[in-house]
Amino acid sequence: MTIFLIILTAIASILLILAVLVQNPKSGMAANFGASNQVMGARQTADFLEKFTWGAAVAILTLALLIVVADKFSAPASEEKTEPTKIENTEAPAQTAEAPAEK
């Protein structure tokens, strides 16, 4: 299930990139020619691309949340119920320093 959602997210991301690249910039020199776009019939295309961009962004956000939820609930139950391992004392026993015998 998680793999399927990841693939859908990748497809939506690629489509979002393409939709953004196809759109005309709204600032700069292209902003002065906005009226000519309406005459040529590109206004509906611009509206569709803007709605598609927002839809793809919402889809990516939703899919990302679904991936997190699906991953949390698909975890094996044995991982959650494992007991912590007991750490053994592997420290070397303290050595007693004996004073050398004096002659």
The reported pLDDT for the residue numbered 64 is 95
Quick check: 50 and 23 in contact, CB under 8 A? Answer: yes
How far apart CA 20 and CA 8 sit, in angstroms, is 18
> Is 17 within a domain?
yes
Tell which wins on pLDDT, 7 or 83.
7
The number of domains in the chain is 1
Cα end-to-end distance, the chain, whole Å: 82
Question: What pLDDT sits at residue 65?
Answer: 96
Higher pLDDT, 87 or 8: 8
pLDDT of 61 reads: 97
The SS3 assignment for 98 reads coil
Residue 32 DSSP label = G
- Does residue 33 lie within any of the structural domains? no
CB 56 within 8 A of CB 18: no
In a domain, 15, yes or no: yes
Is 64 within the bounds of a domain? yes
Where in the sequence is the domain holding 3, given as residue range(s)?
Answer: 1-23+45-75
pLDDT recorded at residue 9: 96
Ramachandran assignment for 102, one of left (phi > 0), alpha (psi -120 to 50 degrees), beta (any other): beta
Residues 6+ apart with CB under 8 A from 63: 5, 8, 9, 12
| % the chain with pLDDT above 90 | 37
In terms of pTM, does the model score above 0.85? no
